[in-house]
Structures are given as C-alpha cells and as structure tokens.
Amino acid sequence: MENSKKWWFTRISNVSKKDAINSIKSNNFTQGPNTNLVESKLSKIFNKPIIFTQNGTSAILMAILSLGLKKNDEIIIPNFGWIATLQPLILLGIKFILIDISKDVPNINIKTVKKKISKNTKAIIFVHFHGHTNNSLEISKFCKKRKIFLIEDACKAIMSKTENNKFAGTLGDIGCFSTGMISLLNTGYGGFIIVNNKKYEKNLRLIKDHGCIRQKEKYPLLGLNFKTSDILASFLSNQIDKIYSKINKLNKIYNMYKKIKNPRIKILSYKKNEVPLCIDLYCEKISKIKKIFRYHKIPFIGLHKPFNQVEFLKIASNKKFINSEKFYKKTIMPPCGPDQDIKIINKTIKLLNNCKI
C-alpha cells in the first residue's frame, strides 16, 4: 500500500458540522434522534428497514450472527477485497471457502461459485467491489434456488444499481454498508444494514444491543455493543439530502479518466447505474506509473492484498487465485473522490497520456 495523502478526497460540509455541534449541545452522545433520523431517511431511499451501526465490519458480523450460522457451516467469499469481509468469519469460527474473482472485474461469478459449493455451504458473501454490481443478479438467483443465504458486502457500493435497477445490498437477505471516509456517505466511522428479510430485523436490533431485551433484561441471542454515537449519525443527515450531488461529482471525475488515450492503461469500467466511487487504473507496467506519480507528487494508493496472502492465515499463494493476484499487482487508484481537486486530476491524466510505457 502507498501511504499517500488525499488520493481520495471528500469534505464534511459546514451544515453537517453544525448538526454535530447541535447534537453535542443536546447531550445526544449515544444512540438517539439523529440515528433514528438517518435510518428513516435511508429507509425512504432503499424502501427497506435500515439499522445504523458502528462500521461495515460490524454490519457483516451482525449479519452472520442474525442468520444463526454455526461453526460447521461454510461461507463462500471472494479472495479479494478488504480483510474486514473475512475477519468476522474467523472470529466466529465459521469455515470460509475462498474463490477467485472474475478476470475482467474484481467480483466473483456464478461459474466459480458452482465449482466450490458443497452440502455444507450455508451462505455466500458477495462483495460489490468499489460499487461494481457485475454478476450479482446471477448469484442472487442461484442463492434463492439453492436456499442459501446471501450477504452482500456493499460497503463501497452505496446507491450503485444493477442492470435491472435494483440497489446493491437489496438482492440478498442482508446488505452491509460502510460510512467510513472512503464512502459516498461518510462519518469517519460508521455503517448500516439493509434488512431484505424482515424476520431477521428483530434479531439484528437485539444483536446490536448485546442481544438484550432491555425491558425484561433477557438475552435470547448472542450480541455485542454495536450501537454508534448520535454525534456521528448527525454528520449524515445533510449528506443524504445531497447524495445525488455527490454522485454527479463522482461521475464527472470518472468521465474525465475515461478519456485517457494511452492504449496501455485501462480504467475499470462502471455501468450506467453504478456509482464510480473509486478509479481503478490497470497497467501491465504499473511500477513505471508509480515512479512517475511519485516524481510528480501525484497521490495514489494500491489495492489490498488478496486474502490468500494474508500472513496469519498461512495460505500458500498458488494458481487458484490468478485473477486476484493480477489485480493486486497491476492496479492502483489515482486521485479521485467527490471533492478531489480537478487540477490534480487534469495533471494526472496529462501525465498518463504522455508517459511512455
């Protein structure tokens, strides 16, 4: 990973800052009216119950707990993404089956899933990598047919839609989202859950608060403190109101990068209804581009390593994960984000068009 500042840039508006100050003045430090307001606003957009929580990782952990998955159960997950998708499974002792991503986009596909499914497979976690929804409809139909749970890690896919106009996170049983700083909606730390199957909503709300029925102090489910601060929630209300403006900014930046004329550089394509949260720049000679960027002080960052390369898992790197390792080695993210300086983007594009690789 490259430790470069502001490769992805967004601003917290003055209105959001004032909302946070008002929350402090009102002594709304724990879950309260701002959390309820955010859940209500998001529920109107997605037309589904919403549960606001600490972060995307907590959302995934809560989802697994709510479905009642056990140690001998298997969950299929992609070998590529951020380690937060995998860690809840390890913490709960649930067996995970890693599969490679597709050759053209860093999402899993139905062909690879079918090769790895077994009688012990109880769920699939589908990661909408950087807002891409490719292959998600096929996976959703397959899970319904086989009666397998589908958890969507849509942490980086807020407002992205499939080709049939369905939001990422609404195709399976539970959708998990992040409101971290590299998100369409950001609170620094935060996340939310879309409940597509209402019978799990009650479970999730209990799990969020230690699995406790407060009025009777009964503990029917295992849970933890997954509640979040009302101060953080207060940052979101104004952002939700202006969410389409942020999407337009991201689309503008993506369209600028699409015009790169260097034939050796590929920008990972987004479909019409997907939100281009990040720019993924692929090149066989990516080391030369990194060198050029460092010399001209262009901020950038690499992708996270595939799970089979994570040290504590002790999984040998082999030919089973060719696509994951290729994306990791040959892709970087140049300057992007809704409030990124357009001058920096223009400078970046000019360098990419003129570099000889």
Q: What is the mean pLDDT of the segment spanning 271-299?
A: 97
**Domains and their CATH numbers in the chain:** 14-240 (3.40.640.10), 243-354 (3.90.1150.10)
Phi, psi (5° rounding) for residue 204? -65, -40
Q: Which residue has the tokens 């596909």?
A: 109
Q: Interior CA angle at 116 toward 72 and 151, to 5°?
A: 65
Q: For 68-112, what is each residue's pLDDT tens digit? A: 988 889 999 999 999 999 999 999 999 999 999 999 999 999 999
In this prediction, residue 318 carries a pLDDT of 60
Q: For 238-251, what is each residue's pLDDT tens digit? A: 999 999 999 999 99
Q: What is the mean pLDDT of the segment spanning 248-276?
A: 97
Q: How far, in Å, CA of 174 to CA of 198, rounded?
A: 10
Provide the 10 A C-beta neighbour count for residue 284.
13
Helix (H) or strand (E) holding 124: strand 121-127
